Amino acid sequence: MKIFPITEKRKIWFAISAIVVAVGLVSMFVRGFNLGIDFTGGSLLELKFTKPVTIEEIREVLRAHGLENSVIQLAGETGRADGNSTVLIRTAALDDSARKKVTDDLAAKAGAFDVLRIENVGAVLGGEITRQAVVAIALSWLLMIAYITWRFEFKFAIASIIALLQDVMAVLTFFSLFQVEIDATFVAALLTIIGYSINDTIVIFDRIRENMRTFRRSDSLTALADKSIRQTLARSIYTVLTVLFVTAALYCFGGDTTRNFSLALLVGLVFGSYTSIFCAGSFWVELNSRKLKSVK
């Protein structure tokens, strides 16, 4: 049976990755991101209803106004999660007209209420958390480079980080292209994707290292890398499918507050599997191209 040569066809994977990165950069430059209220600030409404209401009741009303991703908190004397009369609602910035439509709809569908507070508020996260997220991701990559260099070799580390960069770019591209709202959970999703993707890549690299013990100068590095990828392919597919099933369930049934988080995970896990199987080993072969030529 003819075996598909993954790393020998690496120019195809490099072209696909280049297209994703190029589309992402153009989209980020032209369309930017749809930043949520955690990053941009918005309107804060504190309402006291005449009867207890639930978060889902309030969110259902807000959904009709395109505000289903608003932050809703129950407050008051009892503090019950299943219903309370005092509700804090944090939405995107609303002008007077839009705010009146929302409050009128809430009164009609959720019951009468007294307005305790209505005001515009600033961003909770903003620039500080963005800087911290960039530092956290950069630090994680530096530690990975150090660890992989220590356990394997520097070229393995560089190939891993290039693959991870693609994973992050793929998620950013998706969220920019489709203008999916970015909220506070997005940073956690990115770090989760990085952790999961590097795990798959390390499994492949570990198998390459093992197979290098029997590597002969007459063999090619592409054959060595492809053999190692094939030996771990079933394990990689089983693992990612298991995680994807759980993440898909979270996306479908986890509610509005976790939907964008699980969507980022879905995109990142799928693309991370692609980069682990098709790109990481190909990058390693490419970095060793001089050695490959000398072997030939």
CA distances from 36 to 133, 138, 154, 206, 246 (A): 16, 23, 39, 40, 25
157 within 8 A of 148, measured Cβ to Cβ: yes
Are 212 and 224 contacting, i.e. CB atoms less than 8 angstroms apart? Answer: yes
Contact (Cβ atoms closer than 8 angstroms) between residue 225 and residue 7:
yes
Measured distance CA(24)–CA(18) in Å, rounded: 10
Q: Which positions ≥6 away from 283 have C-beta within 8 Å?
A: 10, 158, 159, 162, 163
Q: Give which of 135, 131, 120 is closest to 37, Cα–Cα.
A: 120
Gyration radius of the chain's alpha carbons: 24
**211, 237 contact by CB (below 8 A):** no
Q: How far apart, in whole angstroms, are the C-alpha atoms of residue 172 and residue 180?
A: 10
Confirm if 208 and 284 have CB atoms less than 8 A apart.
yes
Per-residue burial over 120-143, b if 16 or more Cβ lie within 10 Å, else e, is eeebbbeeebeeebeeebeebbee
Angle made by CA atoms 7, 3, 6, in degrees to the nearest 5? 15
Q: What is the predicted pLDDT for the residue at 123? A: 62
Backbone φ, ψ for residue 33 (5° rounding): -120, 155
Sign of the C-alpha dihedral computed for residues 27, 32, 33 and 34 taken in this order: negative
pLDDT for res 216: 72
Compute φ and ψ for 258, nearest 5 degrees.
-110, 5
Determine how β-strand 84-91 pairs with β-strand 113-121: unpaired
pLDDT for residue 79: 47
Please report how the helices 55-63 and 96-110 are oriented relative to each other, as an axis angle in degrees rounded to 10: 130
Instruction: State pLDDT tens for residues 22-80.
Output: 999 999 989 888 887 777 777 888 888 888 888 888 888 888 888 877 878 776 544 45
| CA distances to 14, 143, 245, 252, 277 from 208, in Å | 20, 22, 29, 38, 13
pLDDT value, residue 41? 72
What per-residue confidence (pLDDT) applies to 40? 73
User: Given this model, what pLDDT does residue 291 score?
Assistant: 57
Dihedral, CA atoms, 20, 26, 31, 33, nearest 10 degrees? 50
**Nearest to residue 73, comparing CAs of 90, 60, 61?**
90
- Six token digits for residue 256: 């509005």
As beta bridge partners, residue 28 has none
In which residue ranges of the chain is pLDDT below 50? 77-79, 295
End-to-end, the C-alpha distance of the chain in Å comes to: 25
Q: C-alpha distances in angstroms, 135 versus 130, 155, 169, 272?
A: 9, 23, 16, 21
